[in-house]
Amino acid sequence: MKNVGGADRVIRIIVGIALLSLFIFLPGYWKLTGLIALPFLITGLMQKCGMNKLLGRNTCRIS
């Protein structure tokens, strides 16, 4: 069941892309901080978030 709605989804994808750019532009081991983007991108694209489920949140209008 989807639990990530429109605005939440767009924000997650934008933040994910911004953080992924760190992987491209930062030198050395600092590149690994860009991998923080993966959960944001995955939850935004799949519209499912385990943390939302644990907290009982649902930002999707149609379940």
pLDDT for 7-27, tens place per residue? Answer: 999 999 999 999 999 988 999
Average pLDDT, the chain: 91
Domain ranges, residue 47 = 6-55
Crossing angle of helices 37-46 and 6-25, rounded to 10°:
150
Residue 34 lies in a domain: yes
pLDDT at 48 over 60: yes
Predicted pLDDT of residue 42: 95
* Helical ranges in 2-62 per DSSP H: 6-25, 37-46, 50-55
pLDDT at 58 over 60: yes
Number of folded domains that form the chain: 1
Question: What Å distances lie between residue 61 and 2, 17, 25, 42, CA to CA?
Answer: 10, 25, 37, 20
Residue type, 9: R
Predicted pLDDT of residue 63: 54
Residue 63 lies in a domain: no
Residue 25 lies in a domain: yes
pLDDT at 2 over 80: yes
